[in-house]
Amino acid sequence: MGQRFTRLRKALAATAIAGLLGAATACGSTGQGAQADGVVDYWLWDSAQQPGYQQCADAFQQENPDVRVRITQYGWDDYWQKVTAGFIADTAPDVFTNHLARFAQYADLGVLLPLDQLEATQGIADEDYQEGLAELWKGQDGHRYGAPKDWDTVAIFYNRAMTQEAGISDEQLATMEWNPTDGGTFEQIVARLTVDANGVRGDEPGFNKNRIRTYGFNIDEAGGGNYGQTQWSPFTASNGWHATDVNPWANRFNFDDPKFQDALAWYFSLAQKGYAPDFAASSDSDRLMAANQAAMAINGSWMIGTFTSLETAAGERMDIKVAPTPIGPTGHRASMFNGLADSIWVGTPEPEKAARWVAYLAGAECQDIIGRAGVVFPARPSGTQLATEYNRTQRQLDVTPFTVHVTDGTTFQAPVVNYAADIQALIRPALDAIYMGREPVSSMTAVNEQVNALLEQQPEG
Q: Record the pTM.
A: 0.89
Pair 94, 42: CB distance under 8 Å: yes
Location of each CATH 3.40.190.10 domain in the chain: 2-150+340-389, 154-336+416-455
DSSP assigned state of 138: B
- The burial of 14, by beta-carbon neighbours within 10 Å (0-12 exposed, 13-18 middle, 19 or more buried), is given as middle
- The burial of 296, by beta-carbon neighbours within 10 Å (0-12 exposed, 13-18 middle, 19 or more buried), is given as buried
Torsions phi, psi for 118 (to 5 deg): -110, 135
DSSP assigned state of 16: T
Which of 30-34, 82-86, 396-400 has the least mean pLDDT? 30-34
Q: What tens digit of pLDDT does each residue of 287-336 get?
A: 999 999 999 999 999 999 999 999 988 899 999 999 999 999 999 999 99
Pair 365, 354: CB distance under 8 Å: no
Query: Under CATH, which number does the domain 154-336+416-455 receive?
Result: 3.40.190.10
- Amino acid letter, 329: P
| Number of helices (H), then strands (E), in the chain | 18, 12
Q: Quote the pLDDT of residue 26.
A: 34
d(CA 352, CA 94): 11
pLDDT exceeds cutoff 70 at 447: yes
d(CA 409, CA 381): 15
b/e 356-391 (16+ beta carbons within 10 angstroms → b): bbbbbbbbeebbbbbbbbbbbbbbbbebbebbbebb
User: If we measure between CA atoms, which residue out of 231, 256, 230 comes closest to residue 242?
Assistant: 256
Pair 195, 212: CB distance under 8 Å: yes
Q: What tens digit of pLDDT does each residue of 207-252 get?
A: 999 999 999 999 999 999 889 999 999 999 999 999 998 776 778 9
Pair 42, 71: CB distance under 8 Å: yes
pLDDT exceeds cutoff 70 at 102: yes
Nearby residues of 292 by Cβ (< 8 Å), 6 or more positions away: 159, 162, 214, 313
- Amino acid letter, 83: V
Q: Quote the pLDDT of residue 31.
A: 32
d(CA 83, CA 61): 24
Query: 2-150+340-389 adopts what CATH topology?
Result: D-Maltodextrin-Binding Protein; domain 2 (3.40.190)
Q: If DSSP codes are grouped into helix, strand and coil, which group holds residue 367?
A: helix
Nearby residues of 340 by Cβ (< 8 Å), 6 or more positions away: 97, 98, 99, 149, 150, 151
